[in-house]
Amino acid sequence: MTKIATWNVNSVRRRLPNILAWLKESNPDIVLLQETKVTDDQFPREEIEDLGYNLAIAGQKAYNGVAILSKAMIEVTQCVLPGDLSDTHARYLEALIGRIRIASLYLPNGNPIRTEKFAYKLKWMDRLVVHAQELLKTEESFILGGDFNICPTDDDVYDPEGFAEDAVCHQESRNRYRTLCHLGLTDAFCTLHPKLGAYTYWDYQAGSWNKNNGLRIDHLLLSPEAADKLQESGIDRSPRGKENPSDHTPVWCVLDDQ
């Protein structure tokens, strides 16, 4: 069995005590991190390696940043999402780990919607769809995991009406996420817990955590070959309730890779 998790940590250095505690407690085999917000040389490599993890990092000062942690060896295959050589944001990292290909991604937020930020989000998703199509042709087990900044349905947001014009719930964003799934990808959590109303993100403002005013925007999308091996999936709310938490919490799944 292989336990795979994704977590937007909202600054790997600031959340390091919580990250280390969670790694010790949950003991995942592979972890995808987003919003690390550090250059590669400033990543707290030693502390994480001391827990038995290998690291692959695509960092950026103060913004963005993704990483992959794995108990097994990591062979990096992509440090950027293909399709736009001018895009320098550290938002995508893909690797082979044993018999599975896995990517940590931090999809653009896209707000406000009537700006270039939303156009960038949609173009980024179009590139992701094209890349997913290429990956599917290989018939490999692969996972696209991370902060997608998309609530797939109204069940994934506490206030659907209030978020209708937000980029994370906008119909154009949802259509592209749906396109990804219609290619043959499986949302690990959703397929095992349909319409549960569970969230992965709670804003720091207005008591959102205590009121459970959340969004489900962090996902693990599995290729058909990986989905065939899916055993469990869940959302671990406990890190969000810690002192000095990220505004996101981990999402995980277990694959039977025997």
The per-residue pLDDT for range 1-11, each reduced to its tens digit, is 999 999 999 99
Q: What is the mean pLDDT of residues 33-48?
A: 97
DSSP assignment of 29-76, as one string?
A: SEEEEE---S-GGGS-HHHHHTTT-EEEEE--SSS--EEEEESS--EE
What backbone torsions phi and psi does residue 82 show, to the nearest 5 degrees?
A: -60, 155
Question: C-alpha angle with apex 235: 113 to 36, nearest 5 degrees?
Answer: 60
User: Which stretches of 74-225 are assigned E, i.e. beta strand?
Assistant: 75-78, 92-97, 100-106, 141-147, 186-187, 201-202, 214-215, 218-222
pLDDT by residue (tens digit) across 106-132? Answer: 999 999 999 999 999 999 999 999 999
Question: Where are the chain's structural domains?
Answer: 2-255
Element (H, E) at 235: strand 230-235
pLDDT by residue (tens digit) across 79-105? Answer: 999 999 999 999 999 999 999 999 999
CB neighbour class for 237 (10 Å; exposed up to 12, middle 13-18, buried from 19): middle
- Asked whether the CA dihedral 82, 83, 84, 87 is positive or negative, the reply is negative
What CATH number was assigned to the domain covering residues 2-255?
3.60.10.10
pTM of the model: 0.97
Residue 18 binned pLDDT confidence (cut-offs 50, 70, 90): very high
